[in-house]
Chain A
Amino acid sequence: MQPETLAWIILALPLLSAAGITLFTRRNAGLSAAVSVTAVAAAFVASVLLVLSYRGLHIPAGECLIASVNWLNVGGLSVELGLRLDSLSNVMLLGVTGVGLMIHIYSCGYMAGDPSYARFFASLSLFMFSMLGIVLASNFVMMFVFWELVGVSSYLLIGFWFERPAAADAAKKAFLTNRIGDFGFLLGIIAVWASLGTVDFLDLQRALAADPQALGAFASLAGVLVFMGAMGKSAQFPLHVWLPDAMEGPTPVSALIHAATMVAAGVYMLARSFFLFELAPAWPESLGFLSGISALDVIAWTGGITSLMAALMAVQQSDIKRILAYSTLSQLGYMVMAVGCARPEAGMYHLVTHAFFKALLFLGAGSVIHALHHEQDIWKMGGLRSRLPVTYWTFLVGTLALCGVPPFSGFYSKDGILAAAETRPVLFGLALVVAALTTFYMFRLVLVALRGEPRDAAASHAHESPSVMLWPLRFLAIASVFAGFWGIDTALKRGLGMAGASGHEDHGGFLAGVFEPFGHAPLAAFLGLFATGIGFAVAWTLYGSHPVRDPLPERLGPLARWMRDKFYFDEAYAWLIRCTHDALAAVADWVDRWIVAGMFVRGLAGATDVAGRALRLVLTGNLQTYAFLAAAGMVVALWIVVL
């Protein structure tokens, strides 16, 4: 089949599943799950076929296939419902449908017995549809459309247990925070369209290649505005606050949406529209103080700050899902930083490997939570190695991959990012600190939660999860180990039209591939490993003896409290919103009630009333008065006419 046809099928399947479950099968839990899993499985198979047939066409690097129908055409604004196929979207397609399939299967076990089982799968299918839409979108407006749909499906899934106030609040917070990013994203799209007259990625890229000055003074501003969208979706500082709260959703949702796919959409978007950020810095006159700073600088520093801050916060969390959530934030910061260092393929590579091992870690955490009857505090766990063997070993694989231990996939992708940052010493140092912190908090998690002796009755009675949940763990563990050798990086380079990616890069055999980073960028590789070692050593010293309480707060003092309380961003934002937006609303409401409705309208009504009363005085019923008034009126009229 043609790749284009397959792409339409891939996009349509989850939508049909979501609609079908909502309209027809929602009363039948088992059937709904079957529909949803079948749809995503078929989408995965179609993606594999698509990639195979795409390869068969031998499309050169930087080129792509586009299938589209016109969606909107008004004035100078033409928007296609377009699907773009190149190596970049192919890699994402495989990643999203592959991880999605694992998580769908896992959910069948994890969500069993939930009264809203069908609604869960309908929302999950809606999410898959929206996410695949982002992956395939061929222009900015379509991406924005699916971007918003991803936001709303995330809202529905975070708030899946909407009777719980915490979940309902978290859903609202996630949506609103994302909306702030989308505000910038939309304005950025409009600004780009207004200057270049198109929203299509390919046309924009060509226009900017032909004339890099085409955006004029808006070049950097448009880049930063578009980047705001990524800041929201990929939870970058300062819009990072929603992601940890999003852990109120069911764990498979955290794995799929808030670790592997949706939050990665921001990085994908940055890679997709990278041509926009490469432009030389140019700011409008009113923002002249920013001159010399390029959009990429903003992106790199945002990513760097996010990764460090989130890693620090992760160190002092005690909820297993929140530790992973902050870790996700930190890794997303890594990816964004790589894009900012002008190496989008490094960011994308880490995105893909991270999708595998972070999904694995979340599903493993879900398996632990499931076994402990929804206990999430790591200080009430322990001793799970022998009780949950599959979960333990796969979780360990995920941890090693995340920490960047060779030959696990995370090592290669993280090495790419460190190598990208080498040219910026401060960011490079920061990235190394983050690497050490990552190993530290992950082994803190493993040592406290999984090893040692049970600290709680629930932990000592834990049983391994059903096999429908364990097989996805095994598959994802395999992917986490080997994803570094599948040539994902080469494919990404080709998709991004990078130089030197047109031919088949020969690694010279498997072993050479394993050690390639040490020859390619030795500084980054060795320092990265060194940082990992330090992190592990510190974690082992502090937690290797299986303490009952966290020894760290005593050593760090107030800093530990700041880290635990997330540097008080939530409180600061709540205060800021209360002082600005809520205050404006209160003022507007007061003015509306007392000035506009009160004085003007009542005043008008009152004036009418007074006029009515005054006129009533005139209507005395006395003939002489009427005659007098008539005569007076005639005199006045005559006076006007004559003079």
Chain B
Amino acid sequence: MSPLTWILGLPLLAAAGLCLVPRTSKGVLRTVAVAVTAVVAWMAIDLLLGFATAPVGRGGYRFVQQIPWVESLGISFFVGVDGINLGLIVMGAIVAFAAACVSWEIEDRTKEYYVLLMLMTGGILGAFASLDVFFLYFFHELALVPTFIMIGVWGRGERRQSAAFQITLYLTLGALVALIGLIALYLQSGVRTFDLVTLTDTLAANPMPAARQYFIFPWLMFGLGILVSLWPFHTWAPLGYGAAPTATAMLHAGVLKKFGLYVLLKVAVPLLPEGAKEWLPLLAWMCLGNILYCGWVAMRQRDLNQLIGNSSVAHVGFVFLGVASLTTVGVTGAVMVMVAHGFLAALSFALSGFLYRQTGSLDMGRMGGLLKQLPFTGTVMVMAMMAGCGLPGFGNFVGEMLVLFGGWKSDLLICGGWISFRWFVAAAAWGALIVAAVYMLRAVREMFHGPIGETWRKSNDPTGAWRRLPYVVLLVSLLALGVAPRLLTDHIEPSAKLIVDAVERSRPAPHLATAPGHPIP
């Protein structure tokens, strides 16, 4: 049996098992959740280390397992990894472990909470492991529903009901629009299967007519874009994360949100190359909305969670830019940003959740001098913020750098070639190096430096190795990616190249063939 089946199955089994545990034994509930996620994280890391030597299965995927299910519709349970989802699964498993660790803050209805947490974890890992479009979508929904419930029940702040309402509305809408696109793809492919490998091979051999691709691609792009807070569909993210319990914000912002990007990269772009070429210039414009506009919005925030939420939206823009560049370097960078940002978003929300528990407020104006009072939390938070403004040594730098390098060489034409993609790279570099540094350093200045603010007098650092472990694990993961990026990039690159080549191979769109441009080396 593929280790992937265990990775996604164990949390789901744990969810079922936890239903049988009496609600009074909180210790058991918590121990089971932490232990299961620890085992899953360990298996995922093992997967990463064994990836290079594992035998290659169907469609170039490794650790493949396929069990037919509804053959009349072409649905099967089909899991496997390539370079793109490898990092996401490892990141998801580690973040899930950290999320289970920080869940000690939940004190009421613990049983339901841990059941939902396990369900969400299983759903997330299943969504990234599945190579069957039906299960891909199914697992995503399986993870999404607990998100809404957790915000509504264990959320915080006065606006949690409206936040839960808005996030539900938005994400359901996004999922629905994407579903329409996926069904259209399924019907139009002509093979009546949800099997991603078969779909890819068939559509590579007999591409869909360009007109149909032009029609289907935007459903996927906008639907998935809404799921990932693509500008201007982003306002749910800061609001929702501000109201969500810590573990939910970590898992959603860190991992589940990457689903939209992953499907865009894994399904939409390679299966609909003509549609991609037609619509990606628009995506390039919109991702500037993420990088610059949301960065500017973040500069104005007074509340730490709103700041982290907006900055997280801004970082997602780099993934879109990397995908839009359609170069191997850019796409590899996009995947790297996805993974690194997952760790970073989880770490940021874990820390802000901790601070909220300490003081009941995240108003930065009332903070100050935190490094003196909480040296551990303060140090980790400063490092997280430095990672957020693209400091080398952290994984984000590698990803963003690759996106910018790749983008510079992109020959995607914007506005019929009037505007070079290089201007987008320059604007994104401004966002990465300046705007991000401005809001991060302003936050550091207000929260950690200066005289000690009134809200901190009674606060303390987390004590004991277990309480500090989740932050350390996430920080070490970020550092590992930044110091030794080849841990992932060596695996990502061949898969990214396949996707880029798939688009390259497709019949060049008429305006691309005639326009002057640099050939891709």
Contacts and interface: CB of A to CB of B under 8 A. Distances in A.
Interface in B69-102: none
Contacts of B451: 163, 165
Interface stretch (B143-151, B182-190, B326-334): B326-334
B404 A175 contact: no
A72 B429 contact: no
Contact of A190 (B300, B405, B433): B405
B338 interface: no
B486 A71 contact: yes
B438 interface: yes
A186 B445 contact: no
A159 B449 contact: yes
Given A190-B405, A197-B521, A176 B437 contact: yes
Interface in B390-425: 391-393, 397-398, 401-402, 404-406, 408-409, 425
Contacts of B409: 76, 194
Nearest to B452: A163
A591 B239 CA distance: 16
Contacts of B401: 141, 186
A73 B486 contact: yes
B57 interface: no
B229 to A, nearest CB: 12
Nearest to A176: B437
Interface in B478-500: 485-486, 489-490, 492-493, 497
B393 A588 contact: no
B450 A163 contact: yes
A351 to B, nearest CB: 24
B454 to A, nearest CB: 15
Contacts of A585: 296-297, 299-300
B23 interface: no
Interface in A33-64: none
B441 interface: yes
Interface stretch (A143-151, A411-419, A543-551): A143-151
Residue of A74, A159, A197 contacting most chain B CB atoms (<10 Å): A74
B434 interface: yes
A152 B329 CA distance: 27
Interface string B343-378: 000000000000000000000000001011000000
Contact of A73 (B235, B371, B430, B489): B489
Interface string B218-237: 00000000000000101110
Contacts of A183: 429-430, 433-434
A589 B450 contact: no
A70 interface: yes
A571 interface: no
Nearest to A76: B521
Contact of B449 (A168, A182, A581, A584): A168
A148 B429 contact: no
B293 interface: yes
A474 interface: no
A426 B328 CA distance: 50
Contact of B441 (A141, A175, A588, A596): A175
Interface residues of A, number: 54
Interface string A547-580: 0000000000000000000000000000000000
A596 B231 CA distance: 10
A597 B297 contact: no
A159 B437 CA distance: 16
B296 A589 contact: yes
Nearest to B482: A145
Contacts of A167: 449
Interface in B427-441: 429-430, 433-435, 437-438, 441
Given A70-B486, A71-B486, A75-B329, A168 B450 contact: yes
B169 interface: yes
B438 A596 contact: no
Contact of A187 (B235, B426, B445): B426
Contact of A588 (B293, B425, B449, B485): B293
Contacts of A176: 434, 437-438, 441
A193 interface: yes
A261 B311 CA distance: 34
A608 B172 CA distance: 13
A149 B489 contact: no
A584 B328 CA distance: 34
Interface string B448-477: 111110000000000000000000000000
Contacts of B372: 163
B371 A186 contact: no
Interface string A57-98: 000000000000011111111000000000000000000000
B517 to A, nearest CB: 13
A601 interface: yes
Contacts of A194: 405, 408-409
A591 B166 CA distance: 18
A37 to B, nearest CB: 23
A70 B398 CA distance: 14
A71 B329 CA distance: 15
A482 to B, nearest CB: 38
B405 A608 contact: no
A150 to B, nearest CB: 10
B369 A163 contact: yes
Contact of A77 (B300, B369, B405): B405
A169 interface: yes
A605 to B, nearest CB: 7
A176 B437 CA distance: 7
A118 B287 CA distance: 43
28 contacts: A71-B485, A71-B486, A73-B489, A75-B327, A75-B329, A77-B402, A141-B401, A148-B392, A149-B391, A159-B449, A162-B371, A162-B448, A162-B449, A165-B449, A172-B444, A187-B429, A190-B408, A191-B408, A194-B409, A587-B296, A588-B297, A588-B300, A589-B296, A591-B293, A596-B232, A597-B235, A601-B166, A601-B236
Given A152-B386, A190-B405, A190-B408, 4 more contacts: A148-B391, A148-B397, A183-B434, A601-B236
